[in-house]
Amino acid sequence: MCGGERHDPYPLAPDAAAELLARAPWRRFVVLGDDLAEGGDPRKDREGPPWTDRVAAALRSVRPELAYLNLGRRELTAARIRARQLARALTFRPDLAAVAAGGSDVLDDSFDADATEAELARLLGPLRDAGVEVVVLAPFCGRRSARHAAEDQAVLHRRLRLLAERTRDLALRNGVLHVDLGARPVRTGPDLFRADGRHLDAHGHAVAAATVVRCLGARLDGQSARP
């Protein structure tokens, strides 16, 4: 597991990211998911590239030929992500995938943890069957908002932690990497969200990218240590 509790999630300098990924074998990187995967429009937000582009850039620093496709779209449930993105992702023939799904599900009044877990399993299974290295992400918890009652915020927090637990268990069962962005230590410093409390700011994207790169680096280290 590669949650924030195990790795310092501060942003990485390009040379440090390249060192972690020096033995990266991946040549085709695809991203599936919701708001967290889409990452926002840097041309509009003027906050620099989203975490997905940062990860792709880090991979290209050691694999310049890397092909990269981001299928993420805002406000999609796990079921809609599977229906709209999985086939396209498989057609791309990736060897590395990042999946960020379930965040929209927890915002629904009818949130069903079992149903969301089942859809996530249906996303991860075909990717793994195709031989893809997969990183599944559990989202950050956004800042508290004065517009929402404390009880509602507490419910959302519990749902997000439950989602993180379910994705962690799925990752273990499917042999994929799990990045728990919500488990980041307090020492990450500044708030990671824009004013809406749901979308990452530039620092948040840098932290997310660093956490994913460190997780991939740990996977590579583990592989090199095998007899």
Q: Check residue 5 and give its pLDDT.
A: 38
Quick one: residue 175, left, alpha or beta (phi over 0 = left, psi -120 to 50 = alpha)?
Answer: left
Return d(Cα 223, Cα 225) in angstroms, integer: 5
Return d(Cα 138, Cα 5) in angstroms, integer: 13
Q: Check residue 83 and give its pLDDT.
A: 98
Q: Check residue 51 and give its pLDDT.
A: 94
Q: Check residue 85 and give its pLDDT.
A: 98
Q: Check residue 197 and give its pLDDT.
A: 42
Q: Check residue 192 and give its pLDDT.
A: 55
Q: Check residue 43 and give its pLDDT.
A: 46
Place of tokens 């994929």: 176
Q: Check residue 113 and give its pLDDT.
A: 94
Six token digits for residue 214: 């460190």
DSSP characters over the chain: ---TTTS--SPPPHHHHHHHTTT----EEEEEESHHHH---HHHH-S---HHHHHHHHHHTT-TT-EEEE---TT--HHHHHHHHHHHHHHT--SEEEEE-STTGGGSTT--HHHHHHHHHHHHHHHHHTT-EEEEEEPPPPPP-TTS-HHHHHHHHHHHHHHHHHHHHHHHHHT-EEEEGGG--GGG-S--B-TTSSSB-HHHHHHHHHHHHHHHHHHHHHHHT--
User: CB of 64 within 8 A of CB of 101?
Assistant: no
In a structure prediction context, what are the per-residue pLDDT tens digits for the chain, which is 227 residues long?
A: 675 434 455 788 999 999 999 999 999 999 999 989 997 654 455 467 999 999 999 999 999 999 999 999 999 999 999 999 999 999 999 999 999 999 999 988 899 999 999 999 999 999 999 999 999 998 776 544 444 555 577 888 889 889 999 999 999 999 999 998 876 554 444 455 543 445 677 888 888 899 999 999 999 998 755 44
Whole-model pTM: value is 0.86
